[in-house]
C-alpha cells in the first residue's frame, strides 16, 4: 500500500504535518462526555490506528482470506506472500540481518515468556538472571516462573535518585553466574531510555545473554538491533499503530537454532512419526499453529505508515511535546514528577489526591490518561507510592491538547481543593 510522505521542511527543520496526520485517525474526532473532544494521552498502553491499517484488515478478510504456508491455491499463496513480506519489513525496520531472525508472537509478554522458557532450559540451579527495578511485570514474572522451576536467582539492578539505571551497581551485580540480563530499553513509567550499548558491552564481557524489552522504544525512536549489540529484542504491534495480538521477537539466528521450541503443533514441525518429531527451521520453529494472519499483515501497513512519517521526525516531535508538557506542569508545585531524560511519557503524583481520582475527573473533560501502578509494582515501591498518573504522547498529539489537559488538571485539583503542599521525598527518601 503506497503512503504519501507527510514531512515538510521549514527553516531547515523537518516537521510533521500533525493537522493532516490527525485526519487519518477518525477516533480523534470522537466526542467524549457532553461534547468534549477526545484527547488521547494513553499511548504507552496502546496507540490509535490510522484508517489505512483498519482498511488493511478489511482488505484481507474481503479479498484473500486463507491459511498460510500449507496451501497451493491462489488465495493461500497471496496470504502467505503478504504475511512473509511483513517479516522483511520488520527486519529492515529494526535492523536485523535475516528474515529468519524475526519471530511473530502474540505480544511482548509472550516473546519474553518464550525466551524465559526456551533459554531457561539451559540454566542450572544457582544461575542468575539480572533485571532492573524499572521493569514491567512482563519482564519480571517470566523470570520468577523460571526461578521457581529451575531454582535460579533473580536479581534487580537498582535505579538512581534521578530515575536512571545504576550502571555501577550493574557492574557489581554481574558475575560468572549471570547467564541472562533482561532489561527495558525505555521505561513505561519513567520514560528513561537505558544505554543498551553500554549494557551490551558489559554483558558481552561477562558472556551473558542480553534481552531488550523495546515495547516503549521501537514505536518512538530509531532502534537498530545490530548497533545495540543485544542478543534478543522484543516489542509489540499495537504500541506503534498496528493491531493488537501481534508481538515480535528478534534474535540472533545462531541462538534461536540452539533453543528448544516453546509450543508444539502445526507449522513448527518438519516431520512427525509414531516415535517423535523433527522441529522446523527458525523462525517457524517458534510459530506453532495458525498465526494471527490478518493482524500481522495490517502490522506491515502500520510500519509503512510510520516510515512515511519518519521515525526520527516522530522522536523529535515527541521531544517537543514532552518538554512543553513538563513546562506547563511546573505551575503545580505540589506535584511530584517522575521524569529524567525520557521522552513521550510524563508521570506524576500528589500525596493528597489518588491518581485514579485525577484520571476520573480529567476524563470528564475528554482527556484519557493512565492511572495506577502501570504493571510496575516493584518500581512503585521503590518510588514510595502506591500509584501514579501518566500522560503518554504520540505523533498525532498536539500542544493544544496538552493545554486542554492542563486545564482539566486544574479542574481536578480545584475540586479536591489541593493547594501547595510538602513535596514527596525523592527516590530512596
CA dihedral 383, 386, 391, 392 (to 10 degrees): 70
Strands 153-157 and 178-184: unpaired
Q: Is the pLDDT of residue 14 over 60?
A: no
Alpha-carbon gap, residue 342 to 322, rounded angstroms: 9
DSSP secondary structure string for all residues of 77-115:
HHHHHHHHHHHHHHHHHHT-S-GGGEEEESSHHHHHHHH
Average pLDDT value for residue range 121-125: 96
The residues, any chain, with a CB within 8 Å of residue 132's CB and separated by 6 or more, are 156, 157, 158, 159, 165, 183, 184, 194
What DSSP character marks residue 348?
E
Alpha-carbon gap, residue 40 to 367, rounded angstroms: 6
Grid look-up 551473558 returns 208
The pairs formed by 255-259 with CB atoms below 8 angstroms and a separation of 24 or more are 255/209, 255/231, 256/100, 256/101, 256/103, 256/282, 256/283, 256/285, 256/286, 257/282, 259/118, 259/119, 259/121, 259/286
C-beta separation of 389 from 369 below 8 A: yes
Domain topology for 11-40+310-415 = 3.90.1150
The pTM assigned to this predicted structure is 0.93
Grid coordinates standing for 383?
Answer: 518510588
> Between residues 230 and 7, which one has the greater pLDDT?
230
Report the candidate in 285, 264, 242 with the shortest Cα–Cα distance to residue 102: 285
Grid look-up 514441525 returns 269
- Count of helices and strands (H, E) across the chain: 14, 19
* Res 418: pLDDT: 72
Q: Is the pLDDT of residue 5 over 50?
A: no
- CATH classification number, 54-307, choose in 3.40.50.1970, 3.40.605.10, 3.40.640.10, 1.10.1060.10: 3.40.640.10
Residues recognised as catalytic: 375
Grid look-up 523529535 returns 316
pLDDT digits (tens, 9 = 90+) for 192-237: 999 999 999 999 999 999 999 999 999 999 999 999 999 999 999 9
Domain boundaries, the chain: 11-40+310-415, 54-307
Alpha-carbon gap, residue 44 to 405, rounded angstroms: 17
Report the candidate in 116, 141, 110, 164 with the shortest Cα–Cα distance to residue 376: 141
Q: Is the pLDDT of residue 424 over 60?
A: no
* Res 427: pLDDT: 41
Alpha-carbon gap, residue 93 to 51, rounded angstroms: 21
* Whole-number average pLDDT of the chain: 93
pLDDT digits (tens, 9 = 90+) for 75-112: 999 999 999 999 999 999 999 999 999 999 999 999 99
* Res 33: pLDDT: 87
Grid coordinates standing for 304?
Answer: 509503512
* Res 340: pLDDT: 66
pLDDT digits (tens, 9 = 90+) for 152-182: 999 999 999 999 999 999 999 999 999 999 9
Alpha-carbon gap, residue 43 to 344, rounded angstroms: 9
Strands (E) across 227-362 are located at 232-236, 247-251, 269-272, 277-279, 336-338, 345-349
C-beta separation of 224 from 94 below 8 A: yes
C-beta separation of 248 from 103 below 8 A: yes
Residue 417 confidence class, pLDDT cut points 50, 70, 90? confident
C-beta separation of 283 from 103 below 8 A: yes
Amino acid at each position: 500500500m503506497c503512503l504519501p510522505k507527510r514531512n515538510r521542511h521549514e527553516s531547515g527543520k523537518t516537521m510533521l504535518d500533525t493537522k493532516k496526520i490527525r485526519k487519518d485517525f477518525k477516533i480523534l474526532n470522537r466526542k467524549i462526555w457532553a461534547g468534549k473532544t477526545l484527547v488521547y494521552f494513553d499511548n504507552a498502553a496502546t496507540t490509535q490506528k490510522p484508517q489505512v491499517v483498519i482498511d488493511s484488515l478489511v482488505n484481507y478478510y474481503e479479498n484473500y482470506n486463507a491459511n498460510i504456508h500449507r496451501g497451493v491455491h491462489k488465495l493461500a499463496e497471496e496470504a502467505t506472500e503478504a504475511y512473509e513480506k511483513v517479516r522483511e519489513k520488520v527486519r529492515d525496520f529494526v535492523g536485523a540481518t535475516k528474515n529468519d531472525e524475526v519471530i511473530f508472537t502474540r505480544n511482548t509478554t509472550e516473546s519474553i515468556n518464550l525466551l524465559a522458557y526456551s533459554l531457561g532450559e539451559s540454566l542450572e540451579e544457582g544461575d542468575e538472571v539480572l533485571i532492573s527495578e524499572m521493569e514491567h511485570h512482563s519482564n519480571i514474572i517470566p523470570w520468577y516462573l523460571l526461578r521457581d522451576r529451575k531454582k535460579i536467582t533473580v536479581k534487580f539492578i537498582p535505579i538512581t535518585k534521578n530515575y536512571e539505571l545504576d550502571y555501577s551497581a550493574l557492574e557489581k551485580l554481574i558475575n560468572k553466574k549471570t547467564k541472562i540480563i533482561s532489561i527495558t530499553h525505555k521505561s513505561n513509567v519513567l520514560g528513561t531510555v537505558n544505554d543498551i550499548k553500554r549494557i551490551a558491552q558489559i554483558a558481552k564481557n561477562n558472556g551473558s545473554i542480553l534481552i531488550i524489552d523495546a515495547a516503549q522504544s521501537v514505536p518512538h525512536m530509531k532502534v537498530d538491533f545490530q548497533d545495540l549489540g543485544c542478543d534478543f529484542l522484543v516489542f509489540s504491534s499495537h504500541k506503534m499503530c498496528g493491531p493488537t495480538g501481534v508481538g515480535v521477537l528478534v534474535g540472533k539466528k545462531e541462538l534461536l537454532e540452539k533453543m528448544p521450541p516453546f509450543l508444539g503443533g502445526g507449522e513448527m514441525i518438519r516431520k512427525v512419526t509414531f516415535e517423535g518429531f523433527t522441529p522446523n527451521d527458525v523462525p517457524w520453529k517458534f510459530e506453532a499453529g495458525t498465526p494471527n494472519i490478518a493482524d500481522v499483515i495490517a502490522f506491515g501497513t502500520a510500519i509503512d505508515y510510520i516510515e512515511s512519517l519518519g521515525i526520527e521526525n516522530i522522536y523529535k516531535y515527541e521531544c517537543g511535546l514532552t518538554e512543553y508538557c513538563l513546562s506547563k506542569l511546573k505551575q503545580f508545585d505540589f506535584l511530584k514528577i517522575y521524569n529524567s531524560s525520557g521522552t513521550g511519557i510524563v508521570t506524576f503524583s500528589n500525596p493528597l489526591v489518588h491518581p485514579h481520582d485525577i484520571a476520573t475527573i480529567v476524563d470528564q473533560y475528554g482527556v484519557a490518561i493512565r492511572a495506577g501502578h502501570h504493571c510496575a509494582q516493584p518500581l512503585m515501591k521503590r518510588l514510595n507510592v502506591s500509584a501514579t498518573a501518566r500522560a503518554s504522547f504520540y505523533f498525532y498529539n498536539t500542544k493544544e491538547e496538552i493545554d486542554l489537559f492542563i486545564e482539566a488538571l486544574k479542574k481536578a485539583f480545584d475540586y479536591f481543593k489541593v493547594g501547595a503542599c510538602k513535596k514527596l521525598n525523592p527516590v530512596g527518601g
